Amino acid sequence: MADSNELFKAFNGIIKLSDSNRNILRGVRDSLRQKMWKRFATIPLDQIGTNKIDFQTQGSYVMDTIITPYDDDFDLDDGVYFLGNLSREQRPTTKQFHDWVLFVVGEDENYAKVTDKDTCVRVRYSKEKFHIDLPIYYSNNFKNPDLAHLKENWKLSGPVEFIAWFENKVGSNFQESFILESNRFAEFQTWKTDIRKTDSQLRRIVRYLKAWSDNLRGDMPPGIVMTILAAENFKANERDDIALRDTLVNIKSYLKANGCKCPRPTTPKNEDLFESYSETKKKYFLDRLDTFVDSANQAIANPNYKEACLKWQKHLGTRFPCSMIKDEMPYVKSYPKAAVIGDNAQSA
């Protein structure tokens, strides 16, 4: 049986967002925030009904499940919070809030394009292949805010709650107060550094599933679906290849048992994230899942390391490092260390 654990660790080093790209994202995010705060101050209070906006980075960047896609178009979600006490009936329209965000984002020679989407404003940058999504919220705090959706009006949301749910699955000792209370910011920074050093197997499994989706593109589910399916069906193993195979098998059984639904575990709880998928799209994903499970079983059972690696590469893409294996060696007992691949030295 081919043990591909070290190949997966090397692959993780390739797809995991590097510290250099992380620093670029953080620097651009902070610069954009400063610009938005400054321009927000010029909007008359009688128009906007609040005198404060704030920000909270969310999603895969915080949970460290973010990957560098094959085309390098990585991204960061930075929630824009309008802080106030107006009821939904008293507030301006969600379209007006989107327009205010478009105004405070403004124009910049570094922007390639600014797009108003249903749930966010997307700022795509020209010098680097990345974008920042700005989901728009209204709330009197960061917990369970209303998301400004252009088509569905105000939707109760829980971005911090989702982070807490996932981190509970990981067992990382995350606390919602790290984000909700400013006086715990230093602890939050320490926590983020620690989880990146630890790099739990569940985080790696999520990255592998995202890499699979990135390789196929098309009608594959988005990152949040892959994250939920992985966390709900994760089966740990001392080897990443077996853990991935077993998790895929569990996902297949889970979807078959519940009629191909992916219930959101946090606010809005039990929302089916496959609800908008056509039967054709669902069938496409389930067929791809079936073939991935078959290949995973074949790879683990195959005594030839090169052949096993090619089974994985078929689904995970050409970045999966089969070049590390010598053709003349059916069994490989050692690999180059994964740390030499990519740029993932730890930083705060």
H/E element holding 76? strand 74-83
**The pLDDT value given to residue 186:** 87
pLDDT, residue 76, reads: 93
Burial class (CB in 10 A: 0-12, 13-18, 19+), 5: middle
The structure's pTM equals: 0.90
Q: Identify the pLDDT of residue 1.
A: 81
Strands 120-125 and 111-116: antiparallel
* pLDDT at residue 301, as a whole number: 96
| Three-class DSSP labels, 220-262 | CCCHHHHHHHHHHHCCCCCCHHHHHHHHHHHHHHHHHHHCCCC
| Catalytic positions, written as ranges | 75, 77, 133
Report which of 188, 204, 78 is spatially closest to residue 130, judged by C-alpha positions.
78
Q: Using CA atoms, how far apart are residues 68 and 316, in angstroms rounded to an integer?
A: 13
Identify whether the C-beta of residue 7 lies closer than 8 Å to the C-beta of residue 312.
yes
Would you state the pLDDT for residue 50?
67
- Whether the CB-CB separation of 275 and 284 falls below 8 Å is answered with no
**d(C-alpha 145, C-alpha 217), whole Å:** 31
Q: In terms of residues, how long is the chain? A: 348
Q: How far is CA 180 from CA 99, 124, 200, 244, in A?
A: 27, 28, 24, 34
Are the C-beta atoms of 88 and 146 separated by less than 8 Å? yes
Neighbours of 214 (CB within 10 A): 21
Helix (H) or strand (E) holding 206: helix 201-216
Q: Are 266 and 208 in contact (CB under 8 A)?
A: no
Which pLDDT value is given to residue 330?
52
- pLDDT at residue 332 in the model: 44
In a structure prediction context, what are the per-residue pLDDT tens digits for the chain, which is 348 residues long?
889 999 999 999 999 998 898 998 999 999 999 999 999 988 876 666 666 889 999 999 999 999 998 887 888 999 999 988 889 998 899 999 999 999 999 999 989 999 999 999 999 998 778 899 999 999 887 888 999 999 999 999 999 999 999 999 999 999 988 888 877 888 988 888 888 778 999 999 999 999 999 999 888 999 999 999 999 999 999 999 999 999 999 999 999 999 999 999 999 999 999 999 999 999 999 999 999 999 999 999 999 999 999 999 999 999 999 999 875 445 444 444 443 333 443 333
Q: What angle do CA 326, 328, 329 make, to 5 degrees?
A: 70
Q: List 54's β-bridge partners, or say none.
A: 81
What pLDDT does residue 47 have? 67
